[in-house]
Structure 1
Amino acid sequence: MNWKILEERSYTPYSREPKACIVQGSSGAYYPGVRIENVSFPLTIPAIQAACCVCLADGDIPKSVIMKHDSYLEQLDFWTKEFDLEIKIQSGIDDILFSDPFVYIEPSEVKPELIGLLSDAITIHSNFPVSTLLLTAGGYISGVNIEVSDWTNGLCAERLTIAKAICYGIGDFKSMYLHTLKGEFSSPCGACRQVIHEHLPDNEINFFHADGTLSVHYTSDLLPLSFSSTSLTK
Protein backbone atom coordinates (compact mmCIF):
# COMPACT_ATOMS: atom_id res chain seq x y z
CA MET A 1 0.00 0.00 0.00
CA ASN A 2 1.14 3.55 -0.73
CA TRP A 3 -0.53 6.96 -0.71
CA LYS A 4 -1.09 7.02 -4.47
CA ILE A 5 -2.95 3.71 -4.44
CA LEU A 6 -5.04 4.75 -1.44
CA GLU A 7 -5.88 8.15 -2.92
CA GLU A 8 -6.99 6.46 -6.15
CA ARG A 9 -9.80 4.83 -4.17
CA SER A 10 -11.32 8.29 -3.67
CA TYR A 11 -14.59 8.98 -5.43
CA THR A 12 -13.98 12.54 -6.64
CA PRO A 13 -15.45 12.80 -10.15
CA TYR A 14 -16.53 16.42 -9.64
CA SER A 15 -13.53 18.12 -8.02
CA ARG A 16 -10.92 15.60 -9.20
CA GLU A 17 -9.13 16.21 -5.91
CA PRO A 18 -8.59 12.86 -4.18
CA LYS A 19 -7.89 12.80 -0.45
CA ALA A 20 -6.85 9.96 1.82
CA CYS A 21 -5.85 9.26 5.39
CA ILE A 22 -5.58 6.32 7.76
CA VAL A 23 -7.03 6.12 11.26
CA GLN A 24 -5.55 3.76 13.82
CA GLY A 25 -7.88 2.51 16.52
CA SER A 26 -7.16 1.69 20.15
CA SER A 27 -7.09 -1.98 19.13
CA GLY A 28 -4.11 -1.29 16.88
CA ALA A 29 -6.14 -1.89 13.71
CA TYR A 30 -5.90 0.51 10.77
CA TYR A 31 -8.86 1.99 8.89
CA PRO A 32 -8.52 3.63 5.46
CA GLY A 33 -10.37 6.82 4.65
CA VAL A 34 -10.88 8.51 1.29
CA ARG A 35 -12.93 11.46 0.08
CA ILE A 36 -16.30 10.46 -1.36
CA GLU A 37 -18.11 13.15 -3.30
CA ASN A 38 -21.75 13.39 -4.25
CA VAL A 39 -23.47 15.27 -7.04
CA SER A 40 -25.24 17.03 -4.15
CA PHE A 41 -22.01 18.57 -2.84
CA PRO A 42 -23.03 18.96 0.85
CA LEU A 43 -23.33 15.16 1.08
CA THR A 44 -19.62 14.69 0.32
CA ILE A 45 -17.93 12.51 2.96
CA PRO A 46 -14.41 13.69 3.94
CA ALA A 47 -11.68 11.08 4.27
CA ILE A 48 -11.26 11.42 8.03
CA GLN A 49 -15.02 11.24 8.65
CA ALA A 50 -15.21 8.01 6.66
CA ALA A 51 -12.24 6.44 8.46
CA CYS A 52 -13.36 7.45 11.97
CA CYS A 53 -16.95 6.32 11.46
CA VAL A 54 -15.87 2.95 10.05
CA CYS A 55 -13.51 2.55 13.01
CA LEU A 56 -16.35 3.27 15.46
CA ALA A 57 -18.76 0.98 13.61
CA ASP A 58 -16.25 -1.84 14.00
CA GLY A 59 -16.35 -1.35 17.77
CA ASP A 60 -12.98 0.40 17.90
CA ILE A 61 -12.03 3.90 19.10
CA PRO A 62 -9.98 6.29 16.92
CA LYS A 63 -6.61 7.08 18.52
CA SER A 64 -4.47 8.57 15.75
CA VAL A 65 -4.70 9.77 12.17
CA ILE A 66 -1.95 9.19 9.63
CA MET A 67 -1.66 11.62 6.75
CA LYS A 68 0.74 12.89 4.10
CA HIS A 69 2.93 15.88 4.90
CA ASP A 70 1.26 18.03 2.23
CA SER A 71 -2.30 16.86 2.82
CA TYR A 72 -5.27 19.01 3.84
CA LEU A 73 -8.12 17.09 5.43
CA GLU A 74 -11.62 18.49 5.81
CA GLN A 75 -13.01 18.08 9.35
CA LEU A 76 -9.53 17.36 10.77
CA ASP A 77 -10.03 19.82 13.63
CA PHE A 78 -13.33 18.30 14.69
CA TRP A 79 -12.16 14.68 14.76
CA THR A 80 -8.84 15.42 16.47
CA LYS A 81 -10.72 17.25 19.24
CA GLU A 82 -13.52 14.67 19.44
CA PHE A 83 -11.15 11.78 20.15
CA ASP A 84 -7.93 13.59 21.10
CA LEU A 85 -6.32 12.10 18.01
CA GLU A 86 -2.57 12.10 17.60
CA ILE A 87 -1.62 13.41 14.15
CA LYS A 88 1.13 11.42 12.45
CA ILE A 89 2.76 12.59 9.23
CA GLN A 90 4.14 9.69 7.19
CA SER A 91 5.53 9.70 3.69
CA GLY A 92 5.39 5.92 3.45
CA ILE A 93 2.65 3.50 4.50
CA ASP A 94 4.07 0.29 3.01
CA ASP A 95 4.01 -1.47 6.38
CA ILE A 96 0.32 -0.75 7.09
CA LEU A 97 -2.14 -3.58 6.53
CA PHE A 98 -5.92 -3.35 6.61
CA SER A 99 -8.17 -6.10 7.90
CA ASP A 100 -10.58 -8.01 5.67
CA PRO A 101 -13.75 -5.85 5.47
CA PHE A 102 -16.11 -8.57 4.28
CA VAL A 103 -18.78 -10.37 6.29
CA TYR A 104 -18.93 -13.97 5.13
CA ILE A 105 -22.53 -15.13 5.36
CA GLU A 106 -25.07 -16.94 3.22
CA PRO A 107 -28.15 -15.10 1.86
CA SER A 108 -30.29 -16.90 4.44
CA GLU A 109 -28.19 -15.32 7.20
CA VAL A 110 -28.73 -11.70 6.14
CA LYS A 111 -31.62 -10.98 8.49
CA PRO A 112 -30.03 -12.42 11.67
CA GLU A 113 -26.78 -10.66 10.77
CA LEU A 114 -28.62 -7.33 10.49
CA ILE A 115 -30.28 -7.91 13.86
CA GLY A 116 -26.94 -8.67 15.49
CA LEU A 117 -25.30 -5.59 13.98
CA LEU A 118 -27.80 -3.24 15.64
CA SER A 119 -25.91 -3.51 18.93
CA ASP A 120 -22.85 -1.92 17.26
CA ALA A 121 -24.70 1.30 16.40
CA ILE A 122 -23.77 4.44 18.34
CA THR A 123 -26.95 6.49 18.76
CA ILE A 124 -26.23 9.01 21.52
CA HIS A 125 -28.75 11.50 20.10
CA SER A 126 -31.48 9.54 18.34
CA ASN A 127 -31.56 6.20 20.16
CA PHE A 128 -32.53 4.81 16.75
CA PRO A 129 -30.08 2.06 15.70
CA VAL A 130 -29.95 1.05 12.04
CA SER A 131 -27.93 -1.72 10.41
CA THR A 132 -27.10 -2.33 6.77
CA LEU A 133 -25.45 -4.89 4.54
CA LEU A 134 -24.17 -4.02 1.08
CA LEU A 135 -23.84 -6.94 -1.30
CA THR A 136 -20.86 -6.56 -3.64
CA ALA A 137 -19.21 -8.89 -6.12
CA GLY A 138 -16.79 -9.90 -3.35
CA GLY A 139 -19.30 -10.40 -0.55
CA TYR A 140 -21.18 -8.41 2.07
CA ILE A 141 -20.01 -5.15 3.68
CA SER A 142 -21.65 -4.23 6.98
CA GLY A 143 -22.44 -0.91 8.60
CA VAL A 144 -24.41 0.81 11.35
CA ASN A 145 -25.29 4.41 12.09
CA ILE A 146 -22.71 6.39 14.06
CA GLU A 147 -23.50 9.56 16.01
CA VAL A 148 -20.89 11.82 17.61
CA SER A 149 -21.08 15.03 19.65
CA ASP A 150 -21.87 17.07 16.53
CA TRP A 151 -24.90 15.41 14.95
CA THR A 152 -23.89 16.61 11.47
CA ASN A 153 -20.55 14.79 11.52
CA GLY A 154 -21.93 11.31 12.09
CA LEU A 155 -23.07 8.98 9.33
CA CYS A 156 -26.24 7.01 8.74
CA ALA A 157 -25.77 3.28 8.31
CA GLU A 158 -26.46 3.35 4.58
CA ARG A 159 -23.88 6.04 3.84
CA LEU A 160 -21.33 4.50 6.19
CA THR A 161 -21.60 1.12 4.48
CA ILE A 162 -21.11 2.61 1.03
CA ALA A 163 -18.20 4.70 2.32
CA LYS A 164 -16.60 1.65 3.93
CA ALA A 165 -16.71 -0.30 0.67
CA ILE A 166 -15.19 2.58 -1.30
CA CYS A 167 -12.45 3.17 1.29
CA TYR A 168 -11.42 -0.48 1.02
CA GLY A 169 -11.35 -0.30 -2.77
CA ILE A 170 -14.46 -2.42 -3.25
CA GLY A 171 -16.86 -1.77 -6.12
CA ASP A 172 -19.49 -3.55 -8.19
CA PHE A 173 -22.35 -3.00 -5.77
CA LYS A 174 -25.28 -5.39 -6.24
CA SER A 175 -27.94 -4.63 -3.62
CA MET A 176 -28.46 -3.25 -0.14
CA TYR A 177 -30.28 -4.53 2.95
CA LEU A 178 -31.28 -2.42 5.94
CA HIS A 179 -33.01 -3.01 9.25
CA THR A 180 -34.22 -1.18 12.32
CA LEU A 181 -36.19 -2.39 15.33
CA LYS A 182 -38.05 0.89 15.71
CA GLY A 183 -40.65 2.58 13.57
CA GLU A 184 -43.41 1.07 11.48
CA PHE A 185 -41.41 1.08 8.24
CA SER A 186 -37.64 0.80 7.74
CA SER A 187 -36.61 3.36 5.15
CA PRO A 188 -33.52 5.48 4.32
CA CYS A 189 -33.55 9.22 4.99
CA GLY A 190 -33.44 11.66 2.09
CA ALA A 191 -29.67 12.18 2.32
CA CYS A 192 -29.04 8.44 2.18
CA ARG A 193 -31.36 8.07 -0.80
CA GLN A 194 -29.30 10.63 -2.70
CA VAL A 195 -26.03 8.82 -1.87
CA ILE A 196 -27.54 5.41 -2.66
CA HIS A 197 -28.64 6.79 -6.03
CA GLU A 198 -25.06 7.89 -6.75
CA HIS A 199 -23.61 4.40 -6.22
CA LEU A 200 -26.53 2.01 -6.73
CA PRO A 201 -28.56 3.92 -9.34
CA ASP A 202 -30.90 1.11 -10.37
CA ASN A 203 -30.43 -1.56 -7.75
CA GLU A 204 -32.52 -3.57 -5.35
CA ILE A 205 -32.87 -2.08 -1.85
CA ASN A 206 -34.35 -4.45 0.74
CA PHE A 207 -36.07 -3.25 3.92
CA PHE A 208 -36.41 -5.59 6.90
CA HIS A 209 -39.06 -3.93 9.06
CA ALA A 210 -39.49 -4.00 12.83
CA ASP A 211 -42.47 -6.35 12.53
CA GLY A 212 -40.30 -8.94 10.76
CA THR A 213 -41.63 -8.35 7.25
CA LEU A 214 -39.55 -7.64 4.17
CA SER A 215 -40.26 -5.21 1.35
CA VAL A 216 -38.19 -4.93 -1.81
CA HIS A 217 -37.70 -1.64 -3.64
CA TYR A 218 -35.50 -0.13 -6.31
CA THR A 219 -33.46 3.05 -6.14
CA SER A 220 -35.73 4.74 -8.67
CA ASP A 221 -38.67 4.07 -6.32
CA LEU A 222 -36.86 5.68 -3.40
CA LEU A 223 -35.79 8.81 -5.25
CA PRO A 224 -38.04 9.63 -8.20
CA LEU A 225 -37.00 12.66 -10.25
CA SER A 226 -33.62 12.42 -8.54
CA PHE A 227 -31.08 15.23 -8.72
CA SER A 228 -28.38 14.80 -11.34
CA SER A 229 -26.78 17.19 -13.76
CA THR A 230 -25.16 16.73 -17.14
CA SER A 231 -23.20 19.89 -16.41
CA LEU A 232 -21.27 18.08 -13.67
CA THR A 233 -18.64 15.79 -15.16
CA LYS A 234 -18.30 12.32 -13.69
Structure 2
Amino acid sequence: MKNSWDIDTLRHYVQEASLRSFTPYSGLPRAALVLMSDGAWACGVRIENASYSLVIPALSSALVSTASIGRKDIVAILFSGPVKQEEKIAILQTVTPSLDQLDKDFFGTPGCTYRIGNQLTMGKHFSKPIDPNTGIRIARHAAEYADIPESNFPVGAIAVTDKLQYFQGANIEHPDWTRILCAERAAIATAMSAGGSNIRNIYVSCPKSTAASPCGACRQVLYEVAPKSTVWFDRGNQAPRRFRTKDLLPEAFRLTNHHRISS
Protein backbone atom coordinates (compact mmCIF):
# COMPACT_ATOMS: atom_id res chain seq x y z
CA MET A 1 0.00 0.00 0.00
CA LYS A 2 1.47 3.29 -1.03
CA ASN A 3 0.38 5.32 1.99
CA SER A 4 1.51 3.79 5.29
CA TRP A 5 -0.92 5.97 7.21
CA ASP A 6 -3.76 4.40 5.28
CA ILE A 7 -2.82 0.84 6.14
CA ASP A 8 -2.31 1.82 9.77
CA THR A 9 -5.80 3.29 9.73
CA LEU A 10 -7.19 0.04 8.37
CA ARG A 11 -5.26 -1.90 10.99
CA HIS A 12 -6.93 0.20 13.65
CA TYR A 13 -10.36 -0.54 12.16
CA VAL A 14 -9.80 -4.30 12.00
CA GLN A 15 -8.34 -4.47 15.50
CA GLU A 16 -11.34 -2.57 16.80
CA ALA A 17 -13.66 -4.97 14.98
CA SER A 18 -11.96 -8.00 16.52
CA LEU A 19 -13.40 -6.95 19.89
CA ARG A 20 -16.83 -7.91 18.53
CA SER A 21 -15.75 -11.52 17.97
CA PHE A 22 -17.70 -14.30 19.67
CA THR A 23 -14.96 -16.63 20.89
CA PRO A 24 -16.04 -18.18 24.19
CA TYR A 25 -14.17 -21.43 23.53
CA SER A 26 -10.80 -20.40 22.13
CA GLY A 27 -10.61 -16.93 23.67
CA LEU A 28 -8.89 -15.82 20.46
CA PRO A 29 -10.71 -12.93 18.77
CA ARG A 30 -10.21 -12.54 15.05
CA ALA A 31 -11.39 -10.06 12.43
CA ALA A 32 -10.93 -9.52 8.71
CA LEU A 33 -11.43 -6.30 6.77
CA VAL A 34 -12.29 -6.23 3.08
CA LEU A 35 -11.54 -3.11 1.06
CA MET A 36 -13.58 -2.42 -2.06
CA SER A 37 -12.53 -0.79 -5.31
CA ASP A 38 -14.24 2.50 -4.39
CA GLY A 39 -12.61 2.64 -0.95
CA ALA A 40 -15.61 1.37 0.98
CA TRP A 41 -14.78 -1.27 3.57
CA ALA A 42 -16.38 -3.71 5.97
CA CYS A 43 -15.24 -6.08 8.70
CA GLY A 44 -16.17 -9.62 9.62
CA VAL A 45 -15.50 -11.38 12.92
CA ARG A 46 -14.98 -14.93 14.11
CA ILE A 47 -18.11 -16.54 15.55
CA GLU A 48 -17.51 -19.75 17.46
CA ASN A 49 -19.92 -22.55 18.22
CA ALA A 50 -20.10 -25.45 20.64
CA SER A 51 -20.11 -27.59 17.51
CA TYR A 52 -16.61 -26.54 16.51
CA SER A 53 -17.06 -27.44 12.85
CA LEU A 54 -19.74 -24.75 12.60
CA VAL A 55 -17.43 -21.89 13.52
CA ILE A 56 -17.79 -18.95 11.13
CA PRO A 57 -14.27 -17.67 10.36
CA ALA A 58 -13.66 -13.93 10.27
CA LEU A 59 -12.92 -14.00 6.55
CA SER A 60 -16.15 -15.86 5.81
CA SER A 61 -18.10 -13.32 7.86
CA ALA A 62 -16.60 -10.47 5.87
CA LEU A 63 -17.15 -12.12 2.49
CA VAL A 64 -20.77 -13.18 3.04
CA SER A 65 -21.68 -9.87 4.66
CA THR A 66 -20.56 -7.87 1.67
CA ALA A 67 -21.80 -10.37 -0.92
CA SER A 68 -25.22 -10.27 0.72
CA ILE A 69 -25.53 -6.62 -0.27
CA GLY A 70 -24.10 -7.21 -3.74
CA ARG A 71 -20.49 -6.15 -3.16
CA LYS A 72 -17.72 -8.42 -4.45
CA ASP A 73 -15.27 -5.85 -5.89
CA ILE A 74 -12.58 -6.62 -3.32
CA VAL A 75 -9.10 -5.16 -3.87
CA ALA A 76 -7.53 -5.88 -0.48
CA ILE A 77 -8.03 -7.91 2.70
CA LEU A 78 -6.49 -7.13 6.07
CA PHE A 79 -6.52 -9.33 9.18
CA SER A 80 -6.27 -8.51 12.86
CA GLY A 81 -3.17 -10.71 13.05
CA PRO A 82 -0.78 -12.56 10.75
CA VAL A 83 -2.53 -14.36 7.91
CA LYS A 84 -3.15 -18.03 8.63
CA GLN A 85 -2.55 -20.79 6.11
CA GLU A 86 -6.24 -21.65 5.85
CA GLU A 87 -7.01 -17.98 5.17
CA LYS A 88 -4.45 -17.88 2.36
CA ILE A 89 -6.09 -20.90 0.76
CA ALA A 90 -9.57 -19.42 1.15
CA ILE A 91 -8.50 -16.15 -0.46
CA LEU A 92 -6.89 -17.91 -3.41
CA GLN A 93 -9.96 -20.07 -3.95
CA THR A 94 -12.65 -17.49 -3.26
CA VAL A 95 -11.58 -13.97 -4.19
CA THR A 96 -11.26 -13.06 -7.86
CA PRO A 97 -9.21 -11.61 -9.34
CA SER A 98 -6.70 -13.24 -7.05
CA LEU A 99 -4.82 -11.15 -4.50
CA ASP A 100 -1.19 -11.41 -3.42
CA GLN A 101 0.15 -11.42 0.11
CA LEU A 102 1.95 -8.10 0.49
CA ASP A 103 2.52 -8.10 4.26
CA LYS A 104 2.14 -10.49 7.17
CA ASP A 105 -1.47 -9.43 7.73
CA PHE A 106 -2.37 -8.05 4.31
CA PHE A 107 -3.47 -9.35 0.90
CA GLY A 108 -3.73 -6.79 -1.87
CA THR A 109 -3.66 -6.07 -5.56
CA PRO A 110 -0.11 -5.43 -6.82
CA GLY A 111 0.30 -1.97 -8.32
CA CYS A 112 -3.06 -0.79 -7.03
CA THR A 113 -3.39 2.72 -5.63
CA TYR A 114 -5.70 2.24 -2.69
CA ARG A 115 -8.04 4.74 -1.19
CA ILE A 116 -10.06 4.52 1.99
CA GLY A 117 -13.63 5.70 2.04
CA ASN A 118 -16.51 5.10 4.39
CA GLN A 119 -17.47 1.93 6.15
CA LEU A 120 -20.19 0.06 4.29
CA THR A 121 -23.60 0.39 5.91
CA MET A 122 -24.46 -3.18 6.80
CA GLY A 123 -27.47 -2.54 9.00
CA LYS A 124 -30.55 -0.36 8.90
CA HIS A 125 -33.05 0.74 11.54
CA PHE A 126 -36.77 0.31 11.81
CA SER A 127 -38.49 3.32 13.33
CA LYS A 128 -40.91 1.06 15.19
CA PRO A 129 -41.49 -2.67 15.72
CA ILE A 130 -42.46 -4.41 12.49
CA ASP A 131 -45.14 -6.96 11.72
CA PRO A 132 -44.10 -10.41 10.43
CA ASN A 133 -45.21 -9.70 6.87
CA THR A 134 -42.83 -6.73 6.67
CA GLY A 135 -39.94 -8.87 7.90
CA ILE A 136 -40.72 -11.56 5.34
CA ARG A 137 -40.97 -8.99 2.54
CA ILE A 138 -37.47 -7.71 3.32
CA ALA A 139 -36.14 -11.27 3.57
CA ARG A 140 -37.57 -11.97 0.11
CA HIS A 141 -35.66 -8.97 -1.20
CA ALA A 142 -32.47 -10.23 0.48
CA ALA A 143 -32.86 -13.51 -1.43
CA GLU A 144 -32.26 -11.58 -4.66
CA TYR A 145 -28.58 -11.30 -3.63
CA ALA A 146 -28.14 -15.06 -3.29
CA ASP A 147 -25.16 -16.47 -5.19
CA ILE A 148 -26.28 -20.02 -5.92
CA PRO A 149 -24.29 -21.69 -8.75
CA GLU A 150 -24.34 -25.00 -6.88
CA SER A 151 -27.98 -25.34 -5.82
CA ASN A 152 -30.05 -22.80 -7.75
CA PHE A 153 -31.97 -22.41 -4.49
CA PRO A 154 -32.06 -18.79 -3.29
CA VAL A 155 -32.65 -17.96 0.36
CA GLY A 156 -32.81 -14.59 2.07
CA ALA A 157 -32.89 -13.68 5.74
CA ILE A 158 -32.79 -10.70 8.05
CA ALA A 159 -31.74 -10.60 11.68
CA VAL A 160 -33.47 -7.97 13.82
CA THR A 161 -32.02 -6.84 17.16
CA ASP A 162 -33.72 -5.54 20.28
CA LYS A 163 -32.76 -2.03 19.14
CA LEU A 164 -34.66 -2.55 15.86
CA GLN A 165 -31.52 -2.75 13.77
CA TYR A 166 -31.76 -5.25 10.95
CA PHE A 167 -29.08 -6.99 8.92
CA GLN A 168 -29.64 -9.02 5.79
CA GLY A 169 -28.01 -12.17 4.54
CA ALA A 170 -28.29 -14.41 1.50
CA ASN A 171 -26.92 -17.87 0.83
CA ILE A 172 -23.51 -17.45 -0.78
CA GLU A 173 -22.25 -20.66 -2.37
CA HIS A 174 -18.77 -21.97 -3.11
CA PRO A 175 -17.49 -24.94 -5.15
CA ASP A 176 -16.18 -26.32 -1.86
CA TRP A 177 -19.50 -27.03 -0.19
CA THR A 178 -17.95 -27.01 3.28
CA ARG A 179 -17.48 -23.24 2.91
CA ILE A 180 -21.07 -22.43 2.08
CA LEU A 181 -23.01 -20.31 4.54
CA CYS A 182 -26.79 -20.29 4.50
CA ALA A 183 -28.72 -17.03 4.53
CA GLU A 184 -29.55 -17.30 8.23
CA ARG A 185 -25.89 -17.62 9.21
CA ALA A 186 -24.95 -14.87 6.75
CA ALA A 187 -27.43 -12.52 8.45
CA ILE A 188 -26.12 -13.49 11.89
CA ALA A 189 -22.51 -12.98 10.81
CA THR A 190 -23.37 -9.58 9.36
CA ALA A 191 -25.18 -8.51 12.53
CA MET A 192 -22.51 -9.65 14.96
CA SER A 193 -19.66 -8.27 12.85
CA ALA A 194 -21.35 -4.87 12.84
CA GLY A 195 -21.97 -4.93 16.58
CA GLY A 196 -25.63 -5.88 16.35
CA SER A 197 -26.16 -7.89 19.50
CA ASN A 198 -29.31 -9.27 21.12
CA ILE A 199 -30.89 -10.70 17.99
CA ARG A 200 -34.59 -11.10 18.72
CA ASN A 201 -36.16 -12.05 15.39
CA ILE A 202 -35.00 -13.87 12.27
CA TYR A 203 -37.09 -13.72 9.10
CA VAL A 204 -36.35 -16.34 6.44
CA SER A 205 -37.58 -16.59 2.85
CA CYS A 206 -37.05 -19.44 0.38
CA PRO A 207 -38.79 -18.16 -2.78
CA LYS A 208 -38.71 -21.57 -4.49
CA SER A 209 -40.17 -23.52 -1.57
CA THR A 210 -42.89 -22.55 0.89
CA ALA A 211 -42.12 -25.65 2.98
CA ALA A 212 -38.43 -25.01 3.66
CA SER A 213 -37.03 -24.25 7.10
CA PRO A 214 -33.54 -23.64 8.57
CA CYS A 215 -31.07 -26.50 8.27
CA GLY A 216 -29.57 -28.18 11.33
CA ALA A 217 -26.39 -26.10 11.14
CA CYS A 218 -28.34 -22.85 11.17
CA ARG A 219 -30.47 -24.08 14.06
CA GLN A 220 -27.36 -24.87 16.09
CA VAL A 221 -25.83 -21.44 15.39
CA LEU A 222 -29.11 -19.70 16.19
CA TYR A 223 -29.37 -21.59 19.46
CA GLU A 224 -25.83 -20.59 20.38
CA VAL A 225 -25.92 -16.87 19.62
CA ALA A 226 -29.63 -15.98 19.78
CA PRO A 227 -31.34 -18.56 22.03
CA LYS A 228 -34.19 -16.22 22.96
CA SER A 229 -34.99 -15.23 19.39
CA THR A 230 -38.04 -16.03 17.30
CA VAL A 231 -37.77 -17.39 13.75
CA TRP A 232 -40.37 -16.56 11.13
CA PHE A 233 -40.68 -18.68 7.96
CA ASP A 234 -42.06 -17.38 4.68
CA ARG A 235 -45.08 -19.43 3.65
CA GLY A 236 -45.90 -17.68 0.40
CA ASN A 237 -49.51 -16.55 0.36
CA GLN A 238 -50.09 -17.94 3.84
CA ALA A 239 -49.27 -16.19 7.09
CA PRO A 240 -45.60 -16.54 8.15
CA ARG A 241 -44.97 -19.47 10.46
CA ARG A 242 -43.44 -18.70 13.86
CA PHE A 243 -41.08 -20.75 16.02
CA ARG A 244 -39.06 -20.05 19.11
CA THR A 245 -35.40 -20.80 18.41
CA LYS A 246 -35.13 -23.04 21.46
CA ASP A 247 -37.93 -25.23 20.03
CA LEU A 248 -36.18 -25.69 16.68
CA LEU A 249 -33.41 -27.85 18.11
CA PRO A 250 -34.63 -30.31 20.75
CA GLU A 251 -31.95 -31.54 23.15
CA ALA A 252 -29.59 -28.80 21.98
CA PHE A 253 -26.25 -28.47 23.73
CA ARG A 254 -23.74 -25.78 24.54
CA LEU A 255 -20.27 -25.99 25.99
CA THR A 256 -20.25 -24.27 29.35
CA ASN A 257 -16.48 -24.62 29.57
CA HIS A 258 -13.73 -26.61 27.88
CA HIS A 259 -14.60 -29.81 29.73
CA ARG A 260 -18.35 -30.11 29.96
CA ILE A 261 -21.32 -30.18 27.61
CA SER A 262 -24.66 -29.09 29.06
CA SER A 263 -28.05 -29.96 27.63
Q: Greater CA deviation, 145-154 or 1-10?
A: 1-10
Q: Greater CA deviation, 2-11 or 62-71?
A: 62-71
Unaligned runs of 5+ in 2: 1-11, 106-115
Q: 2:44 aligns with which of 33, 42, 64?
A: 33
Q: Greater CA deviation, 216-225 or 107-116?
A: 107-116
- TM-score for both structures, normalised by structure 1: 0.88
Q: Greater CA deviation, 7-16 or 78-87?
A: 78-87
- The equivalences for 1:164-175 within 5 A come to 164-175=190-201
Distance across 2 between alignment mates of 1:231 and 1:57: 33
Task: State the Cα RMSD in Å.
Answer: 2.5
Deviations 1:7-52 (A, max 9, x none): 1111111000111120123443212021111011000011111111
Q: 2:150 aligns with which of 122, 125, 142?
A: 125
- Compared with structure 1, are the counterparts of its residues 152 and 63 closer, same or farther at alpha carbon in structure 2 (3 Å cutoff)? farther
Query: Aligned to 1:118, what secondary structure does the other structure show?
Result: helix
Higher CA-based Rg:
2
Residue 80 of structure 1 is matched in structure 2 by: 92
How much has 1:73 moved relative to structure 2? Answer: 6.5
- The equivalences for 1:210-221 within 5 A come to 210-221=236-247
- Compared with structure 1, are the counterparts of its residues 205 and 88 closer, same or farther at alpha carbon in structure 2 (3 Å cutoff)? farther
Deviations 1:144-199 (A, max 9, x none): 11002222212100111111111112212111111111224131000000000011
Distance across 1 between alignment mates of 2:233 and 2:186: 17
Residue 100 of structure 1 is matched in structure 2 by: 121
Do structure 1's residue 57 and structure 2's residue 68 form an aligned pair? Answer: yes
- Compared with structure 1, are the counterparts of its residues 11 and 134 closer, same or farther at alpha carbon in structure 2 (3 Å cutoff)? same
- The equivalences for 1:1-234 within 5 A come to 1-61=12-72, 62-68=74-80, 70-72=82-84, 74-83=86-95, 84-87=98-101, 89=103, 97-105=118-126, 107-108=130-131, 109-136=134-161, 137-232=163-258
- Compared with structure 1, are the counterparts of its residues 230 and 117 closer, same or farther at alpha carbon in structure 2 (3 Å cutoff)? closer
Residue 5 of structure 2 is matched in structure 1 by: none
The answer to whether the Cα contact below 8 Å between 2:232 and 2:242 also exists between their aligned partners in 1 is: yes
- Equivalenced residues, count: 232
Deviations 1:53-108 (A, max 9, x none): 112111111332113563437433122332213445488xxx66422222345625
Distance across 1 between alignment mates of 2:138 and 2:194: 21
Query: Aligned to 2:255, what secondary structure does the other structure show?
Result: coil
Q: Percent identity?
A: 31
Unaligned runs of 5+ in 1: none
Paired letter, 1:132: A
The answer to whether the Cα contact below 8 Å between 1:49 and 1:79 also exists between their aligned partners in 2 is: no
Distance across 1 between alignment mates of 2:239 and 2:62: 33
Runs of 4+ in 1 over 6 A off after TM superposition: none
